[in-house]
Amino acid sequence: MQSHSRRVRADLGNAIGNEDSIRGFCANGPARVASAFRRTFHAAASSIDSRALGLNNPSMPRPEAAHRVKSYSAATGYVYQYYFYEVEKAKRGRAEGTEYVYMASVDRKHVFPVRIFVSKEALDKWSTSTGRAFTGTEEYALAKMRLFQAFDEVEGLAEKTPALAVDESNLEALLSQLDL
């Protein structure tokens, strides 16, 4: 089997007409090599596995993102493995807010979602009273602190999925843990 560089030299040599002219350029050798290179590889480039329009494999699913799995030793005695999954705008009843979804596991075999709803109304009231708005990072931290609180307080979280929320009833307690 020829090495790649030998094949390229042979293809160029065939296109030029003499393989030795690649190594020892004569007065017009560089121009002939460049011209032969363009002719040889333009044809090869147009036959690469791609279509002019669209994706190569339109039915191929989007690859899964790698998640950083973390552990939390809860007061209930369980050691949870969890990772952040997604965030989206949501409504619960008439309340608007943001829902943070974490995927958690107790046994590393079965994964279950833990959804935490952060109330926009509670955040707006706090922002009005303090004169500053929450950043996205601070809102994420509130949701994560509520997740830890659920890990510590709810026995058998995997079997029952309670409606977890950050609202006016627990906002101040969570903020005090974050020194905000």
Per-residue pLDDT of the chain (180 residues; tens, 9 = 90+): 555 555 555 555 555 554 444 444 444 555 555 565 556 555 555 555 555 555 555 666 666 777 899 999 999 889 999 999 999 999 988 999 999 999 999 988 899 999 999 999 999 999 999 999 989 999 999 999 999 999 999 988 888 888 899 999 998 889 888 887
Pair 41, 83 in one domain: no
Pair 24, 108 in one domain: no
What's the domain range around 157?
70-177
122 within some domain = yes
Query: In sequence order, which ranges of the chain are alpha helices (DSSP H)?
Result: 4-16, 20-23, 29-46, 120-130, 136-153, 171-177
Pair 95, 128 in one domain: yes
59 within some domain = no
For the chain, how many structural domains are there in total? 2
- Rounded Cα–Cα distance for residues 152 and 160 (Å): 14
63 within some domain = no
Pair 81, 131 in one domain: yes
Beta bridge partners of 112: 104
